[in-house]
Amino acid sequence: MQFETKAIWAGQEADKTTGATIVPIYQTSTFTQEEVGKHKGYEYSRVANPTRTALDICLASLEEGKYGLSFASGLAAEHAILSILRPNDHIIVPEDMYGGTYRLIKEVLEPNNIKVTFSDFTDLEAVKAAFLPTTKLIWIETPTNPVLKIFDIQAIAEFSHKKKAIVVVDNTFATPYFQKPLLLGAHIVIHSTTKYINGHSDIIGGAVILNDPEIYEKIFLIQKTVGAVPSPFDSWLTLRGVKTLAIRMRQHEQNAFQVAEFLKTSSNVEKVLFPGLKDHPGHDIAKKQMTGFGGLVSFRIKGGLKEANLFFKKLEIFQLADSLGGVESLANYSALMTHESFPAELRQKIGVTDNLIRLSIGIEHIDDLLLDLKSALK
């Protein structure tokens, strides 16, 4: 089955009891049992719920994985994965990553004695040099939030396989429509489904997809024990959103290309960051491991916070907001929004400068988007 078909049908066959064509919202916390231990596969919705199961199956299928687990947020999904680590285990993570992941590592992992090395993942030798005998896991986010760096999943995975370390890829920005990390050698894919997977900026959610039964059992145990699960309604909204993922991603990318090309011509723009541009340092790797470049475009405006604020104020269609990946266009000032938990020097080092603006390009008509940007940049 092709991607578009799986997005609509995987895990979503007609309801066996009623024939409902669309997966119902099983808004129930509990399930009646015929006798002790005899039930229809569901007992209590923290452990499993049929609407969530449909989403789990669909997401696993889109990522070409065996198991899917949906969570209450992307960070809850990340936390569940990282909870399989034990004190003194070592992990390697990129210097560039979503600010919330950085905060999770700094505020939760490190105080619990997980050892962390931050490394430059554009340099494979640096990643190799960071390996220790206690290294259990490598965390990849590509393209990165917000500077859209590209890391070579296959090269890092090949090395990690030799060292028997688990490779996790945050695939939130690319989505399985453009990038399938499990096919490139990763063990685990994580998503903030809040973003493109749901696509309509009306839920917070996360997902973990993987093939290894042992790791699956560990993460499932954490999920049911901790209970950071999405509600049946949020699972249903996410299922409805994911049905149009392919068509949305094609349009996001088409619009993103035009926005990137336009920004390059603006005299008030210092630098455009979009992996689809030939001069992007990660362009060749992106071409190798992705089938499209996504819908995010970041740029450096001439000036700093003052000029950025002027730009944000003049925008009419683009909304100044956290988040990304919805059908609507958003603009974000990463230094003080998504990445405020980063120390200032690290922000500078990874390029989250005071003039960096991240645009999540929506699927509105491109003429309207370009007009909005043009007048705001004047």
Ligand X SMILES: Cc1ncc(COP(=O)(O)O)c(C=O)c1O
Query: Which residue, 100 or 176, has its beta carbon nearer to ligand X?
Result: 100
Residues with active-site annotation: 46, 98, 170, 195
Min dist CB 141 to ligand X, Å, is 6
**Window of 13-21, 69-77, 83-91, 245-253 that interacts with ligand X by CB under 6 A:** 69-77
Min dist CB 206 to ligand X, Å, is 5
Q: Could you tell me the sign of the dihedral formed by the alpha carbons of 257, 262, 265, 268, in that order? A: negative
Contact map string, positions 95 to 114, toward ligand X, x by CB under 6 A:
---x-xx-------------
Min dist CB 268 to ligand X, Å, is 27
CA–CA distance from 55 to each of 13, 51, 229, 234, 242 (Å)? 12, 7, 12, 10, 9
Residues 134-163 that bind ligand X (CB under 6 A): 141, 145
State the SS3 of the chain.
CCHHHHHHHCCCCCCCCCCCCCCCCCCCCECCCCECCECCCCCECCCCCHHHHHHHHHHHHHCCCCEEEEECCHHHHHHHHHCCCCCCCEEEEECCCCHHHHHHHHHHHHHHCCEEEEECCCCHHHHHHCCCCCEEEEEEECCCCCCCCCCCHHHHHHHHHHHCCEEEEECCCCHHHHCCHHHHCCCEEEEECCCCCCCCCCCCCEEEEECCHHHHHHHHHHHHHHCCCCCHHHHHHHHHHHCCHHHHHHHHHHHHHHHHHHHHHCCCEEEEECCCCCCCCCHHHHHHHCCCCCCEEEEEECCCHHHHHHHHHHCCCCEECCCCCCCCCEEECHHHCCCCCCCHHHHHHHCCCCCEEEEECCCCCHHHHHHHHHHHHC
- Under the binding rule (CB under 6 A), the answer on residue 75 touching ligand X is yes
One residue of 61, 122, 175, 194 binding ligand X per CB under 6 A: 194
Total binding residues for ligand X by CB under 6 A? 15
Min dist CB 101 to ligand X, Å, is 6
Going across the sheet that includes 90-94, the strands are 67-71, 206-210, 188-192, 166-170, 135-141, 90-94, 115-119
Min dist CB 170 to ligand X, Å, is 5
**Window of 21-29, 40-48, 68-76, 245-253 that interacts with ligand X by CB under 6 A:** 68-76
Query: Which residue, 194 or 289, has its beta carbon nearer to ligand X?
Result: 194
Query: Which residue, 97 or 308, has its beta carbon nearer to ligand X?
Result: 97
Min dist CB 343 to ligand X, Å, is 19
**Window of 73-81, 156-164, 219-227, 351-359 that interacts with ligand X by CB under 6 A:** 73-81
Query: Which residue, 89 or 170, has its beta carbon nearer to ligand X?
Result: 170
Residues 198-257 that bind ligand X (CB under 6 A): 204, 206
Residues 302-321 that bind ligand X (CB under 6 A): none
Dihedral of the alpha carbons of 120, 122, 126, 131, in degrees to the nearest 10: 80
Residues 162-181 that bind ligand X (CB under 6 A): 170, 172-173
CA–CA distance from 378 to each of 53, 152, 323 (Å)? 50, 38, 26
Min dist CB 204 to ligand X, Å, is 5
Min dist CB 129 to ligand X, Å, is 25
One residue of 74, 199, 276, 326 binding ligand X per CB under 6 A: 74
Query: Which residue, 68 or 376, has its beta carbon nearer to ligand X?
Result: 68
Query: Which residue, 12 or 194, has its beta carbon nearer to ligand X?
Result: 194
Query: Measured at CB, which residue is nearest to ligand X?
Result: 74
One residue of 192, 332, 334, 355 binding ligand X per CB under 6 A: 192
Query: Which residue, 194 or 238, has its beta carbon nearer to ligand X?
Result: 194
Give the interface with ligand X as residue ranges (CB under 6 A): 73-75, 98, 100-101, 141, 145, 170, 172-173, 192, 194, 204, 206
